[in-house]
Amino acid sequence: MRRLRRAPALGAVLASTALVLGACSSGPAAPPASASTGGSASSSSSTSGVTSTGTSATTPPTSASATASPPSASTPAVVDKVLVVVVENHSLAQMQAAMPYTYGLARRYGYATHYTATRHPSLPNYLAIASGSTHGVADDAGPSAHPVPGPSVFGAALAKGRTAAVYAEGMTSPCQHANAGDYAVKHNPWPYFTAEAAQCAGHDLPLSAFDTAVRAGALPDAGLLVPDLCHDAHNCPLATADSWFAARMRSIEAGPDWRSGRLSVVLTADEDDHSAGNVVLTVVAHPSLHHVVVTSPLTHYSLTRLYAEVTGTTPLGNAASAPSMAKAFGLPLR
């Protein structure tokens, strides 16, 4: 019920009428900013052994949470370079538990849960990655004991007109065949390929060349980064290897190759410590990947195949029939 009031003055009536007419012509009010517009804050999908999980507001930050610069909008994020980093003698579970930066990077970009090395000890695994075969090697002896005829993924890339390089920490001269200090030739496969001695001498380089290439945007199409015996967790804790890799990866993320979207970085272990069926953590990092978990089986021969897929060369040895890492992770190739 309204109370009776004294009639308002004519001016007040006219002003009130104008306000009412203006409100009627403006249409319905917009919904509040917090109203849902459809969709959800996170999503997940899986296909053929691949799970891609969105990030929710409650997801805790990881130790690899620093934001990398995305590729330039004018440059397609197509992978035509791959850099592989190998650590030593630890299983998937051990690496997940003791390498917080690396596992954070894995969860941010992508990793495999069923990636297995070929056998024990170290050298056969490095030869497998580099050529698609262990060549019957079952120990860690030097190149003079195990000359391999080749080709390697590095020599194959060079023969195709692409670029290739190995960067070995602790090595004092290119393509060094002898152990020295914390440098172990068994972790540097290229010196074993006798038919590629000249290429190895020109492109198997000390670590200082890596830092220069990162800054210049001149990392190779087929690259391998070999930490020394401490920084690969062979003689030192996984935490040491994690810190070393974090420093290298941060410099990579600041460099032109990563920022252009051309470079993908893969970290794996040569083998486990005989405790987990040779299942090791394998991380695939590229700006196009977001929380990818590959559960389908992959092996070191899949990594050999990835080198071939990136460089446009023929997959070597067992890589020809190995599952494709590029397809498993959805890497964009040219």
Domain assignment present for 170 = yes
Task: Return the pLDDT at 50.
Answer: 63
- In this prediction, residues 76-83 reach a mean pLDDT of 88
Domain assignment present for 23 = no
Domain assignment present for 39 = no
Mean pLDDT is lowest, of 75-79, 123-127, 207-211, 257-261, for: 75-79
Read off the pLDDT band of 150 (50, 70, 90). confident
Give tens-digit pLDDT for 265-297. 999 999 999 999 999 999 999 999 999 999 999
Compute, in degrees rounded to 10, the torsion defined by CA atoms 310, 315, 318, 321.
Answer: 80
Q: Nearest to residue 111, comparing CAs of 90, 130, 95?
A: 95
77, amino acid identity: A
Domain assignment present for 66 = no
Can you read off the two tokens belonging to residue 2? 């309204």
SS3 for 12? Answer: helix
- Cα–Cα distance for residue pair 327/138, rounded to 1 Å: 31
- Cα–Cα distance for residue pair 299/328, rounded to 1 Å: 12
Domain assignment present for 286 = yes
Give tens-digit pLDDT for 223-265. 999 999 999 999 999 999 999 999 999 999 999 999 999 999 9
294 bridge partner residues: 50, 112
Judged on CB neighbours under 10 Å (0-12, 13-18, 19+), 250 is middle
- In this prediction, residues 194-199 reach a mean pLDDT of 98
Could you tell me the residue range of the domain that residue 155 belongs to?
A: 47-54+75-329
- Cα–Cα distance for residue pair 205/190, rounded to 1 Å: 11
What is the number of structural domains in the chain? 1
Domain assignment present for 236 = yes
Domain assignment present for 107 = yes
- pLDDT tops 90 at residue 52: no
pTM, to two decimals: 0.81
Q: Nearest to residue 270, comparing CAs of 115, 125, 124?
A: 125
Domain assignment present for 325 = yes
